[in-house]
């Protein structure tokens, strides 16, 4: 491998394929990797790319498979199962690590490895996809607007269907309930713990608290100790979730989760290219300081999967061309909060709070 070789792990999943296609178009084709030899080889043959087949259970085989690469981009969710082994192998082999997770615990795990990563000369940069690049940059811009803010609220409104990987990642988290950050500490709360009307750019929508990755990442990006993240939903959807959330812990039982994942694989093909082109996402954020001063902003973006392809590959290209600081980084810390505005269809708009 050359010092510009990079590995795309989870290349045969929905988002992995989208990234591989765009990387090939840009002349940035990676080594395609995954667990299923047949599908990885088939995809590599389509692009004329090199490939690697390895799972994450054999630490020695894993280290051997990534040795000599500059970086690995992990697109294989749920990341709660894949990020730990891959980060450990990257630290051992001095390979930079990126992923597209939106999972709080994965981001926290990367942050906990900051000292080890610096000692190894490795960058750990999780969450370079839709979750959490736009919201992390929005949080960073608001923190710049109001230094000393102690409260941060973020909200997301998206349209369109989910990929199998996204749905399975959500399944892994949903039975654990919600999460917020209070006085710098993560705190478990029920799903849809709070609701509020959010003034998105296209108009107000009802939203509920969710365990979005910014509960972790925005804390490191901004230093703000009180963070809540909301997702838009209808009053009926939110009421149903609140009514039946007591049943969700049943998904902790392994056979039920396995059955649910099997059903997801069969029923969710992921959004079409046409729908990705048509759909958009909208974000809102507000910060407040102890004196009661506030700042608010909105942000619009393309479809989340389209944006993930753009932001993940931009992160790869920047790391290949100009190595970042070593250790744990969030997208806003790595590239600055204006990073999101470098992509078409993305712009901030500050509003009166």
Residuewise pLDDT in 10s, the chain (353 residues): 456 799 999 999 999 999 999 999 999 999 999 999 899 999 999 999 999 999 999 999 999 999 999 999 999 988 999 999 999 999 999 999 999 999 999 999 999 999 999 999 999 999 999 989 999 999 999 999 999 999 999 999 985 655 555 555 555 666 577 999 999 999 999 988 999 999 999 999 999 999 999 999 999 999 999 999 999 988 988 888 788 776 666 555 555 555 554 454 566 566 677 776 768 899 999 999 999 999 999 999 999 899 999 999 999 999 999 888 999 999 999 999 999 999 999 999 998 66
CA distance 344 to 301: 8
Question: Structural domains in the chain?
Answer: 6-130+306-335 (3.40.50.720), 133-304+342-351 (3.30.360.10)
CA distance 59 to 82: 12
CA distance 135 to 330: 11
User: Strand, helix or coil at 350?
Assistant: strand
Averaged pLDDT of the chain: 89
CA distance 51 to 160: 32
In angstroms, the Cα distances linking 175 to 77, 171, 248, 308 are 17, 7, 5, 25
Around 88, how many Cα atoms within 13 Å sit in the side-chain half-sphere? 11
Tokens matching residue 106: 């994965």
CA distance 228 to 283: 13
């Amino acid at each position: 491998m050359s010092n510009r070789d990079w590995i795309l792990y989870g290349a045969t999943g929905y988002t992995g394929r989208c990234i591989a296609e765009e990387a090939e178009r840009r002349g940035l084709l990676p080594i395609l990797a995954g667990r299923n030899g047949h599908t990885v080889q088939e995809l590599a043959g389509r692009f004329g790319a090199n490939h690697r087949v390895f799972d994450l259970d054999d630490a020695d085989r894993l280290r051997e498979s990534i040795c000599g690469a500059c970086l690995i981009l992990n697109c294989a969710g749920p990341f709660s199962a894949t990020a730990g082994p891959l980060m450990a192998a990257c630290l051992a082999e001095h390979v930079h690590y990126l992923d597209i997770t939106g999972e709080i615990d994965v981001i926290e795990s990367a942050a906990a490895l900051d000292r080890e990563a610096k000692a190894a000369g490795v960058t750990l940069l999780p969450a370079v996809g839709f979750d959490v690049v736009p919201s992390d940059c929005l949080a960073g811009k608001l923190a710049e607007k109001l230094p000393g803010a102690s409260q941060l609220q973020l909200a997301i409104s998206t349209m369109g269907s989910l990929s199998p990987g996204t749905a399975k990642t959500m399944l892994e988290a949903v039975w654990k309930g919600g999460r917020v950050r209070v006085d710098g500490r993560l705190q478990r709360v029920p799903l849809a713990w709070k609701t509020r009307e959010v003034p998105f750019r296209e108009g107000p929508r009802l939203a509920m608290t969710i365990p979005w990755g910014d509960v972790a990442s925005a804390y490191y990006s901004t230093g703000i100790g009180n963070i809540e993240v909301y997702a838009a939903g209808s009053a009926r959807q939110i009421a149903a979730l609140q009514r039946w959330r007591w049943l969700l812990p049943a998904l902790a039982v392994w056979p039920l989760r396995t059955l649910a994942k099997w059903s997801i694989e069969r029923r969710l093909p992921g959004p079409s290219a046409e729908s990705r082109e048509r759909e958009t996402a909208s974000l809102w954020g507000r910060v407040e300081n102890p004196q009661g001063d506030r700042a608010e902003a909105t942000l619009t973006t393309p479809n989340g999967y389209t944006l993930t392809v753009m932001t993940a590959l931009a992160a790869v290209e920047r790391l290949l061309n100009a190595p970042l600081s070593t250790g744990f980084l969030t997208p806003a810390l790595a590239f600055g909060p204006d990073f999101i505005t470098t992509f078409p269809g993305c712009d901030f708009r500050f509003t009166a709070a």
